[in-house]
Amino acid sequence: MTEEERILSGLLFCPGDPTLKAIKLRTHNLCTQYNRLFEDEADQRAAILREIFASLGEGSFLQGPIAIHYGCHTRIGARFFGNFNLTIQDDAPVTIGDDVNFGPNVTIVTPIHPMLPEERKRLLDPQGTVKRMCYAKPVKIGSDCWFGANVVVCPGVTIGDGCVIGAGSVVTRDIPPLSFAAGNPCRVIREITEADSVRYKEEILGGCQVCP
């Protein structure tokens, strides 16, 4: 079993494996290239994103700078918007649906390191070789979600469709669809309903209307 197969199986793996390091180096270098480009160099930016991610839907935009770990483990739907300083540490798969909006400094992490210090330093692989090892759990984010600034999504979390995650939240457990959730650790505050429509916020409408 390869180290990447171990990742995808949820098993301990060695992040220092030469094959994994080559994947990460390639992606890190592509991120550096992306971050050096001006925002209006749209064609070059789009070409680099196609090289980084396993898939990126039509109409998606990443403000940059970005920090992506593997890239090939991340699939993003259509019309995604990622604001400044998006970080995705996608050792395990990361899936993001359509029409998702991220505020600045959103971070998604999937790897988990052993709790005991001595186990973080050294474990024996199946062949009995001493290595630094960790494991990872996938993250799934549904469609039509909005994350405020500085949200952190932790390993193994699933966030349902239509959720709003408040700024500064640390999401450590699953969030059901159509929830407003916030805090550290993040918890569901309430369900999102029709009463949240901007049609009822006359102080901000200024002549605007909700689409029929």
What integer pLDDT is reported at residue 117 of this predicted model? 97
- How far apart are the C-alpha atoms of 124 and 145, rounded to whole Å? 41
pLDDT tens per residue across span 182-197:
999 999 999 999 999 9
What integer pLDDT is reported at residue 55 of this predicted model? 98
Tell me the pLDDT band of 97, cut-offs 50, 70 and 90. Answer: very high
What integer pLDDT is reported at residue 75 of this predicted model? 98
What integer pLDDT is reported at residue 102 of this predicted model? 98
Q: What percent of the chain has pLDDT over 90?
A: 100
**Does some domain include residue 211?**
no
The CB density around residue 48, as the number of other CB atoms within 10 Å, is: 20
Q: How many structural domains is the chain composed of?
A: 1
What integer pLDDT is reported at residue 4 of this predicted model? 95
**Does some domain include residue 114?**
yes
> What is the pTM assigned to this prediction?
0.96
Catalytic residue among 28, 69, 73, 113: 113
What is the extent of the structural domain holding 181?
A: 3-205
pLDDT tens per residue across span 201-210:
999 999 999 9
DSSP string for residues in 22-88:
HHHHHHHHHHHHHHHS-TT-HHHHHHHHHHHSSEE-TT-EE-S-EEES-STTEEE-TT-EE-SSEEE
Tell me the pLDDT band of 83, cut-offs 50, 70 and 90. Answer: very high
**Does some domain include residue 210?**
no
**CATH number, domain at 93?**
2.160.10.10
The residue-averaged pLDDT of 56-63 equals 98
**Does some domain include residue 212?**
no
pLDDT tens per residue across span 122-154:
999 999 999 999 999 999 999 999 999 999 999
What integer pLDDT is reported at residue 156 of this predicted model? 98
The CB density around residue 133, as the number of other CB atoms within 10 Å, is: 22
Residue 73 bears catalytic tag? no
